[in-house]
């Protein structure tokens, strides 16, 4: 076991959140501060994803979701978007080969405008980890909450039209089943780095009861200590 997480596990007052969702923000500013191009920050940002995945898995978190690319992020320069797409492809390969600890990797988001090469890597990683029984790791890539909700509405209408659903069956539980996160627990804790206190179209439906924890530190500097502080905050603050 990673010695690092032992302090949290040994503290029996601490309840570990079932679903932690992280908005990984500040890669560009982190790089700029060091005099490097933004892309350098994106690459550096993959390290804490790996590290925090390992920590959460060992802590017994059920679901961990990372927001790495929003539906709005296509408006960035072609150079940056292309770099990110290549990086995501490498990252899914890495997850497939190194997703030790019994992790199930899933993609949440719209696939339509992703390249067929990236979709292929995503599918391969999902398929090769789907029989694992440990933590579910969601990668929110080309994800946008409003479009997810709009698609759910469209799919519900479709099922009513084709007769497999009747309108009086629509309730919160049913709507949840039409989300990318169907069957997963709602978000308990949202973490956002880099001092931005926004939700940026992330898991709006699923975060009804979520507590929010922010840090001014940039994502590439995110460490276990940040996670620990966020989990402690989750345990103390009651709305
Ligand atoms: C987060 O870092 C990663 C992505 C959204 C892809 P940013 O790229 O948003 O970095 P800043 O916020 O511009 O510093
Ligand atoms: C959206 O990215 C959130 C992610 C980290 C993927 P931005 O950093 O571009 O967020 P906004 O648009 O500034 O809120
Ligand atoms: Mg940002």
pLDDT digits (tens, 9 = 90+) for 167-183: 999 999 999 999 999 99
Secondary structure letter of residue 103 according to DSSP? P
Query: Which parts of the chain are beta strand (E)?
Result: 19-23, 63-70, 104-108, 136-143, 189-192, 211-214
Q: Which two tokens stand for residue 128?
A: 């090769």
Return the bridge partners of 143, or none. 70
Instruction: Report yes or no: 22 and 215 within 8 Å, Cβ to Cβ.
Output: no
Instruction: Report yes or no: 193 and 219 within 8 Å, Cβ to Cβ.
Output: yes
Quote the pLDDT of residue 69.
Answer: 98
Return the bridge partners of 104, or none. 136
Q: Which residue has the tokens 């890495």?
A: 94
| Rounded Cα–Cα distance for residues 65 and 137 (Å) | 6
Query: Which parts of 86-230 are beta strand (E)?
Result: 104-108, 136-143, 189-192, 211-214
The response to whether residue 143 sits with its C-beta less than 6 Å from ligand 2 reads no
| Per-residue pLDDT at 239 exceeds 60 | no
| Per-residue pLDDT at 2 exceeds 60 | no
Q: Which residue ranges make up each domain of the chain?
A: 19-234
168 is an active site residue: no
The response to whether residue 52 sits with its C-beta less than 6 Å from ligand 2 reads no
Instruction: Report yes or no: 57 and 9 within 8 Å, Cβ to Cβ.
Output: no
More confident residue, 98 or 134: 134
- Ion ligand 3 nearby residues (CB, 5 A): 25
* pLDDT single digits (tens) 203-233: 999 999 999 999 999 999 999 999 999 999 9
Quote the pLDDT of residue 203.
Answer: 98
**Which residues, 6+ apart, have CB-to-CB distance to 164 below 8 Å?**
none
Query: What average pLDDT does range 6-13 have in this prediction?
Result: 82
| Rounded Cα–Cα distance for residues 51 and 24 (Å) | 13
Architecture of domain 19-234 in this structure: 3-Layer(aba) Sandwich (3.40)
Mean pLDDT of the chain: 95
Nearest one of 91, 65, 48, 102 to 224, comparing CA atoms = 48
82 is an active site residue: no
Question: Which atom of ligand 2 is found nearest the CA of 72?
Answer: 12
Distance of CA 127 to the CA centre of its chain: 18
Residue 31: strand, helix, or coil: helix
Annotated catalytic residue, options 18, 51, 73, 235:
73
Query: What average pLDDT does range 50-61 have in this prediction?
Result: 95
| Per-residue pLDDT at 109 exceeds 60 | yes
Q: Is the full-model pTM beyond 0.85?
A: yes
């Amino acid at each position: 076991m990673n010695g690092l997480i032992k302090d949290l596990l040994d503290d029996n007052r601490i309840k570990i959140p079932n679903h932690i969702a992280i908005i990984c923000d500040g890669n560009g500013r982190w790089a700029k501060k060091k005099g490097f191009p933004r892309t350098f920050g994106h690459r550096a940002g993959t390290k804490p994803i790996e590290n925090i995945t390992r920590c959460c898995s060992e802590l017994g978190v059920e679901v961990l979701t990372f927001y790495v690319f929003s539906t709005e992020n296509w408006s960035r320069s072609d150079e940056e978007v292309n770099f990110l797409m290549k990086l995501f492809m490498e990252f899914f390969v890495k997850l497939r080969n190194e997703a030790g600890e019994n992790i199930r990797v899933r993609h949440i988001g719209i696939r339509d405008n992703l390249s067929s090469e990236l979709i292929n890597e995503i599918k391969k990683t999902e398929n090769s980890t789907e029989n694992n029984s440990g933590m579910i790791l969601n990668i929110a890539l080309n994800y946008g909450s409003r479009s997810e909700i709009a698609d759910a509405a469209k799919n519900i209408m479709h099922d009513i039209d084709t007769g497999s659903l009747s309108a009086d069956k629509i309730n919160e539980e049913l709507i949840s089943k039409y989300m990318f996160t169907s069957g997963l627990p709602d978000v308990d804790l949202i973490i956002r780095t880099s001092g931005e206190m926004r939700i940026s179209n992330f898991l709006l439906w699923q975060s009804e009861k979520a507590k929010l924890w922010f840090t001014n530190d940039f994502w590439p500097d995110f460490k276990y200590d940040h996670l620990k502080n966020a989990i402690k905050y989750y345990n103390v603050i009651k709305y």
